[in-house]
């Protein structure tokens, strides 16, 4: 995410580019906890780095999009240990928002150590779409129409569910690019993401 971070920082945002532990050595929810801890670090060091605690956004791509949307979803339902997270806006690209449609995904099994029917409750809890409350940030999501790893319908269904909860969401479909090429070369999507951050992260 270094390039994304540089583009945002160049527009005047304070950017913290964090990493997280990886599966299968560190299973779910380790990665989510790590990004939560990065958020906590930002709050604790807000004065030092001139971070406005009332205007914090989150951005991730692919697995990162899943993590930042899940953090905001858990916060919206008051999940213990995550209820304090206050993102004003969340942006994500190419994310998985509903694990339940993948009964035998080797990727999710690597992440959780289970197939869906072995632990359906865990799959529900790991799915941002199934943990949406009513106190939600604004979402901006983009997704490749021909994404070969994560189907475009994941974004469509998540957006529909956010709207049903009374939330605010914008979506952008990237044409002609694959999952990885959208990340590497989807400059129009990145530009729209930056515009969304400028609009929704404001001191006004």
Question: pLDDT tens for residues 95-122?
Answer: 999 999 999 999 999 999 999 999 999 9
The upper half-sphere exposure of residue 85, i.e. CA atoms within 13 Å in the direction of its Cβ, equals 31
Residues 36-40: contacts with CB under 8 Å, at least 24 apart: 36/71, 36/81, 36/82, 36/85, 39/71, 39/85
Structural domains of the chain in order of their starting residue, each with its CATH number: 2-198 (3.40.50.1820)
Give CA–CA dist 47/146, Å, rounded: 43
Question: pLDDT tens for residues 155-168?
Answer: 999 999 999 999 99
Give CA–CA dist 34/81, Å, rounded: 12
Which pLDDT does position 204 carry in this prediction? Answer: 47
Which residues, including other chains, have CB under 8 Å from residue 178's CB and lie 6 or more apart? 144, 146, 147, 148
Residue 202's pLDDT band, with cuts at 50, 70 and 90, is: confident
Q: Could you tell me the sign of the dihedral formed by the alpha carbons of 122, 28, 90, 189, in that order? A: negative
Question: pLDDT tens for residues 13-70?
Answer: 999 999 999 999 999 999 999 999 999 999 999 999 999 999 999 999 999 999 999 9
Question: pLDDT tens for residues 187-196?
Answer: 999 999 999 9
Helix spans in 27-87 (H): 30-44, 46-49, 63-76
């Amino acid at each position: 995410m270094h390039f994304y971070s540089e583009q945002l920082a160049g527009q005047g945002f304070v950017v913290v580019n964090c990493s997280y532990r990886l599966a299968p050595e560190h299973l779910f929810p380790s990665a989510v906890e790590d990004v939560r801890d990065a958020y906590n670090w930002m709050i604790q060091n807000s004065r030092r780095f001139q971070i406005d605690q009332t205007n914090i956004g989150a951005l991730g791509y692919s697995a990162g999009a899943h993590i930042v949307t899940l953090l905001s979803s858990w916060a919206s339902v008051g999940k213990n240990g995550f209820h304090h997270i206050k993102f004003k806006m969340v942006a994500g690209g190419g994310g998985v928002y509903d694990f339940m449609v993948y009964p035998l995904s080797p990727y999710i099994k690597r992440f959780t150590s289970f197939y869906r029917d072995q632990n359906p409750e865990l799959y529900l809890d790991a799915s941002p779409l199934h943990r949406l409350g009513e106190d939600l940030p604004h979402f901006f999501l983009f997704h490749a129409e021909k994404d070969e790893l994560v189907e475009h319908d994941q974004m469509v269904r998540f957006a529909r569910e956010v709207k049903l909860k009374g939330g605010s969401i914008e979506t952008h479909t990237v044409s002609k690019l694959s999952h990885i090429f959208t990340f590497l070369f989807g400059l129009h999507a990145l530009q729209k993401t930056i515009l969304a951050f400028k609009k929704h992260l404001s001191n006004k």
